[in-house]
Structure 1
Amino acid sequence: MAIQTEFKKKLFINGCWTEAENYTDLISPYNGEVIAKIPLAGETEVDQAVEAAYNARKTMAKMPAFKRAQILENVSKLLEERQEDAAKIIALEAAKPITTAKGEVARTIQTYKFAAEEAKRIHGETLPLDSAPGGENRVSYTTREPIGVIGAITPFNFPMNLVAHKVGPAIASGNTVVLKPASQTPLSSYFIAELFQEAGLPDGALNVVTGSGKTVGDKIVSDDRVKMITFTGSPAVGIGIRNKAGLKRVTLELGSNSAVIIDEGTDLETIVPRCVTGAFSYQGQVCISLQRIYVHEKEYDRFVEKFTEAAKQLKIGDPLDPETDVSALISKDDVKRAVNWVEEAKGNGATVVTGGETDGNSLKPTVLLNVDPSEKVSCQEVFAPVVIIYKISSIDEAINLVNDSRYGLQAGIYTENIHHALHAAEELHVGGVMINDIPTFRVDHMPYGGVKESGFGREGIKYAIEEMTELKLVVFNKK
């Protein structure tokens, strides 16, 4: 099969590539060049996509587990064969450095493999009803059934793997999908749609519609035929989705301002490179990007020195250059916002140790000290290559500062003290605690999600399948 390479793209509805009435230019975040013309779906096209998914739902629900697994295995194999093309697509549309993009593709291959495996593990349990009076002579068991049509709304920062985290478990559990990818990164989703078609997925089981959130997203969220919304993005949009969804099931992953604690007596030679990776990988545009670092006062000066020096060594440039560490932010508005937040903090007494300057659409890796915790650059999600280093005198002080946030996705602690590690694991109010690692750590089969304004529900294939299925109870009276 030839991958769709034409300049003008089409909507993917009911197994067909469909023209839209209106199109828009997809612009490279790095150099401003036009990459492709992208269709803007209207309500009619979205309705067609939902109708296709709705009509295909019974076919998918009746499909045996081994066939669902086989389709997902085929996708994984096809993506492995085309991984160079896939990485280039991500680098072009998202300005993700090509080395990082290749890492995302490798993870996406694994995610679909996990989905294939979990398709065969969806099961219930038997219940001893005679444990209660009146339950005699009865056999009971539970099953899990697909929920139906799932609306998936995905972000730009992991345009292939975060799509896999929604489409993979949906197909594994016998659901159908209407996918709205981020406006800046639709090419990855079109690419995956072609792979699913070649892999043998029935028509209508996956539909990809691009366009504005106001038109496409609102229609998906409000349509009664859609039984679940799975969304990754900003809190403002996520809260709006939740308010409109009614009785639909909703999974929301809404980001964070993730933090790590550096205890006294830790090995800075090992920790610093890892923290630099966590802070500046993909320009900090990662939901669990390391934004706040709390360092024990005995290690603070050395940590700041080593971290700053390492940040200065990062190479800024073309995302297609294998040597590039940091490239362009996703939009000029995001560059402007990040710079404004840095300048606000600087005007209120913060020290910019390095960075804070732009190079085209790129923001140089930025390290801030003496930042008031109430500054936007600290208490909101900066989503840029900006990190703040704070001095702390105790683990409890650091825990309180980490928890003093509207978010709670993941946090980390580096310590040689097992008591401090266990105490942090218990007291940090987040969805995941990484001990002796950065909060940016994630592998694709672990439960992933947050508390507070970081959202609710969990991703990670097994856990997403639980969100995407209904539990049914069967009771058999033997008389």
Structure 2
Amino acid sequence: MSTRPFWLAGNAATGDSELVVTNPYTGETAGTVAVPSVEQIEEAVAAADAAAPIVAALPAHVRAEALAHVSRRLAERTDEIAGLITAESGKPITWARGEVGRAVSVFRWAAEEARRDSGDLQRLDTDPAGTGRIALVRRVPQGPVLGISPFNFPLNLVAHKIAPAVAVGAPIILKPAPATPMTALVLGEILAETDLPAGAVSVLPMPNDRAASLITDPRLPVISFTGGQFGWELQRRAPHKHVTLELGGNAAAVVLPDADLDWAARRVALFGNNQGGQVCIGVQRVIVDDLVYDEFVGELVRRVRELRTGDPADPATEVGPLIDETAAVRVEAWVREAVDAGATLLTGGTRDGVSVEPAVLADVPDDARVVREEVFGPVLVVQRAKGVDDAFAKVNDSDFGLQAGVFTRDLEVAFRAHRELQVGGVVIGDVPSFRADQMPYGGVKKSGTGKEGVAAAMRDLTYERVLVLTGVQL
């Protein structure tokens, strides 16, 4: 099995060591990737710094065509890339194919946004002092970007780092998760086929500790991080940088009496457990109105038990393994801890190697970790609520605030949810796990700061620069 090269300033390279990538489900080696040396990391940063004015000055059609090329090539290589995602992350192949499709759209939208971004004209003669003046307000890159992506979406979350950066004309150094670097390297290969200048993109797989110099390097003034609570430490280490953080959460789904209970049960069951529950906006807390609690929970347990688990390479599999045995052991321990504290285990919760049987817990103490923290595993916690006031209070009783779902047909309640729930996004009639990649996506509280979503991320990577023209008669 040959070692995959990394991409240093757009060129394939090998380094001073290798990372071995393991298939979580089989335990077999999925591949090996080259790791850059300290000197090569410095070379990548220097190249990004030198390329910054060149990339920023690229015509819109050059940036757009590069992005469109990536979109087309991802679509052409869907089966190959989906298989790679499954091999390195354990994501069921059906979900992996969906991830490739999402990345195809992300790069297509970025190409469209690159062409659309024209700035705004603002007349200044609204006051006497501004007579004969007009302003052009454009957004320009803040500088080269350090993108750090997690293991759970090894293609699409990489796309959400690279595509907006290319669209605005900012060089980017992408550090993929050490557990799942191979898919990002294929994306680097595709980007190398474009006419982007040297230094525009580097994809550098490495152990986390080797990235310390990148976090503090002043030549990388922007950091875009998706991952766990380490993001706050990253922000502390780089206080003078523009840092965007997407740090997950313990997303809640509210089920009210007017909901379609069968639909709600099916959606909560699937999106609390798909991909082994390793989704930032996967359902974790299920807050059910007391009037329909017993009926709904019975249906939910039935739907959870129907989920197909097993080999992620099998298209019928809906729930895959966790990323490694350490993660699976932790999830199993948190379930046992809740039960020991008085919770009722309605189904699941047992571990077999890297897989955990989807669990549903009831009567869980409010201070249990499966309630307060992000489980990032196939665990649902059901809670009773006495009406809308109580349900929404329970949603907000969290240190996180990424997204929430509310199953209701009541338009007034829908707008109230949008007004009152302390989250970055509210989904009515479905689970909080719904995400359209073009919409702004990000949270509040411990869920992070800043936004993903192509246009929103482009704003985060840039700042407004104003040009005032004098002596203009309007």
Alignment of 1:187-226 (within 5 A): 187-216=182-211, 218-226=212-220
Q: Which amino acid aligns with 1:25?
A: V
Q: Matches of 1:255 and 1:133 in 2, distance apart?
A: 50
| Candidates 458, 470, 478, aligned match of 2:463 | 470
| 1:164 maps onto 2:159 in alignment | yes
Where does residue 369 of structure 1 map in the other structure?
A: 362
Q: Matches of 1:101 and 1:378 in 2, distance apart?
A: 28
Q: Which amino acid aligns with 1:341?
A: W
Alignment of 1:60-71 (within 5 A): 60-71=55-66
Shift of 1:190: 0.3
What is the SS of the residue equivalent to 1:199?
coil
* Count of matched residue pairs: 472
| Candidates 86, 94, 97, aligned match of 1:99 | 94
TM-score (norm 2): 0.97
| Candidates 84, 94, 109, aligned match of 1:89 | 84
Q: Matches of 1:474 and 1:442 in 2, distance apart?
A: 36
Where does residue 404 of structure 2 map in the other structure?
A: 411
Give per-residue Cα distances to partners, 1:108-164, cap 9 Å, x unaligned: 101111111000121322223222342222222211112221100000011100111
Where does residue 348 of structure 2 map in the other structure?
A: 355
Q: Matches of 2:32 and 2:73 in 1, distance apart?
A: 25
Q: Matches of 2:470 and 2:328 in 1, distance apart?
A: 65
Where does residue 48 of structure 2 map in the other structure?
A: 53
Q: Matches of 1:229 and 1:43 in 2, distance apart?
A: 19
Moved more, 252-261 or 43-52: 43-52
Q: Matches of 1:239 and 1:475 in 2, distance apart?
A: 38
What is the SS of the residue equivalent to 1:425?
helix
What is the SS of the residue equivalent to 1:198?
coil
Q: Matches of 2:7 and 2:61 in 1, distance apart?
A: 25
Shift of 1:432: 0.5
Q: Which amino acid aligns with 2:437?
A: D
Alignment of 1:65-80 (within 5 A): 65-80=60-75
Where does residue 110 of structure 2 map in the other structure?
A: 115
Q: Matches of 1:386 and 1:355 in 2, distance apart?
A: 9
| Candidates 136, 140, 143, aligned match of 1:145 | 140
Q: Which amino acid aligns with 1:366?
A: A
Q: Is the 8 A contact 2:10 2:191 kept in 1?
A: no
Where does residue 228 of structure 2 map in the other structure?
A: 234
| Candidates 439, 452, 467, aligned match of 1:446 | 439
Give per-residue Cα distances to partners, 1:423-457, cap 9 Å, x unaligned: 22111000001111110000110000000010011
Give per-residue Cα distances to partners, 1:337-372, cap 9 Å, x unaligned: 111111110001101111110122100111100001
Q: Is the 8 A contact 2:287 2:383 kept in 1?
A: yes
Moved more, 136-145 or 404-413: 136-145
Q: Is the 8 A contact 1:410 1:431 kept in 2?
A: yes
Alignment of 1:249-268 (within 5 A): 249-268=242-261
What is the SS of the residue equivalent to 1:37?
strand
Q: Matches of 2:9 and 2:163 in 1, distance apart?
A: 18
Q: Is the 8 A contact 1:95 1:330 kept in 2?
A: yes
Q: Is the 8 A contact 1:138 1:478 kept in 2?
A: yes
What is the SS of the residue equivalent to 2:345?
strand
Q: Which amino acid aligns with 1:410?
A: Q
Q: Is the 8 A contact 2:14 2:35 kept in 1?
A: no
Q: Which amino acid aligns with 1:354?
A: T
Alignment of 1:310-459 (within 5 A): 310-459=303-452
Q: Which amino acid aligns with 2:347?
A: T
Q: Is the 8 A contact 1:43 1:219 kept in 2?
A: no
Task: Give unmatched runs, 5+ long, in structure 1.
Answer: 1-5
Structural RMSD (CA): 1.3
Q: Is the 8 A contact 1:42 1:215 kept in 2?
A: no
Give per-residue Cα distances to partners, 1:219-272, cap 9 Å, x unaligned: 22111111200000012x101111112321111100000001111122112221
Q: Is the 8 A contact 1:252 1:455 kept in 2?
A: yes
Q: Matches of 1:220 and 1:173 in 2, distance apart?
A: 21
Q: Matches of 1:462 and 1:14 in 2, distance apart?
A: 25
Q: Is the 8 A contact 2:325 2:353 kept in 1?
A: no
Q: Which runs of 4+ in 1 moved over 6 A?
A: none
Give per-residue Cα distances to partners, 1:185-212, cap 9 Å, x unaligned: 1001100011111233322211011112
Alignment of 1:273-284 (within 5 A): 273-284=266-277
Q: Matches of 1:431 and 1:130 in 2, distance apart?
A: 38
Shift of 1:38: 2.5
What is the SS of the residue equivalent to 1:315?
coil
Shift of 1:10: 2.0
Q: Matches of 1:318 and 1:189 in 2, distance apart?
A: 23
Q: Which amino acid aligns with 2:23?
A: S
What is the SS of the residue equivalent to 1:134?
helix
Q: Which amino acid aligns with 1:38?
A: V
Q: Which amino acid aligns with 1:118?
A: E
Q: Is the 8 A contact 1:69 1:117 kept in 2?
A: yes
Q: Matches of 1:70 and 1:354 in 2, distance apart?
A: 51
Shift of 1:273: 1.1
Shift of 1:55: 1.9
Q: Is the 8 A contact 1:153 1:180 kept in 2?
A: yes
Task: Give unmatched runs, 5+ long, in structure 2.
Answer: none
Q: Is the 8 A contact 2:273 2:319 kept in 1?
A: yes
